[in-house]
Structure 1
Amino acid sequence: MTYEVIVEGYVLQVEVTYCEDIPPAGIANGSRELTFNVVAGTMYDADGVPMDVCQMELAVIAESDEFVPMIEKALWYEIDARKRRQRWAA
């Protein structure tokens, strides 16, 4: 599933390739884990003009110790929001 997340001024299209979201049950702890690929991105200059992010920069963002935790946090936010919307629609 692909999500759009905003991280440090980048608007990223991120494909989640693996997602495990097991809630805690009884005395067992839950588990949350995901893997992803950053497939596209846009950034905006000082005048608000959008520019595509090159593939090399996307690769650096996807592997960066600075960006990965922020991307994961934004993805979990989007995944949880999608689950809430699905429950409300049912």
Structure 2
Amino acid sequence: MYQEVIVEGFVLQVEVTHCVNEPPGPGTWSSDWDAQGCRELEFTVLSGICYDEDGIRMDADPLGLQLVALQYGRQIEAALWFEIDARQRRQRWAA
């Protein structure tokens, strides 16, 4: 799944390579994991753009993308979960 997220002035094209989103089942006694649910996400930053102080668009180089993914990994993941949850809500309302 491909997503576009905005983090700290970067517009990033991100590919979600692995996503597990199991809701909690409080009545389940088979294991702690089933009772509390599980959310895992792995992603790869494919490309990105940023803007300089004059508002001129610049493409981020591959090394810069790796640094952005390391430095802002938690913010990227939070933005991806926000988009994934919103997509699920839209699908529930459309059904």
TM over 0.5: yes
Measured in 2, the distance between the counterparts of 1:19 and 1:6 equals 20
Match of 2:8 in 1: 8
The CA deviation at 1:47 is: 2.1
1:27-82 deviations in Å (ceiling 9; x for gaps):
400110010000000101112221110111111222x2x31111100000011111
SS in 2 for 1:37: strand
Give secondary structure in 1 for the equivalent of 2:82. Answer: helix
Gap runs ≥5 in structure 2: 28-34
- Count residues with an aligned counterpart: 88
TM-score, L = length of structure 2: 0.87
The structure 1 segments of at least 4 consecutive aligned residues displaced by more than 4 Å after TM superposition are none
Q: Which residue pairs with 1:76 in the alignment?
A: 81
**Computing the radius of gyration over CA atoms, which structure comes out larger, 1 or 2?**
2
Counterpart-to-counterpart distance in 1, 2:55 and 2:83: 25
Query: In the alignment, residue 45 of structure 2 is paired with which amino acid?
Result: V
What do you get for the CA RMSD once the two structures are aligned? 1.1
Give the structure 1 partner of residue 94 of structure 2.
89
**1:30 matched to which residue of 2?**
37
Give the % identical residues.
Answer: 57
In structure 2, what is the Cα distance between the partners aligned to 1:38 and 1:81?
21
Partner SS for 2:36? coil
Q: Aligned to 2:49, which of 35, 42, 45?
A: 42
Q: Secondary structure at the match of 1:48?
A: coil
Q: Secondary structure at the match of 2:26?
A: coil
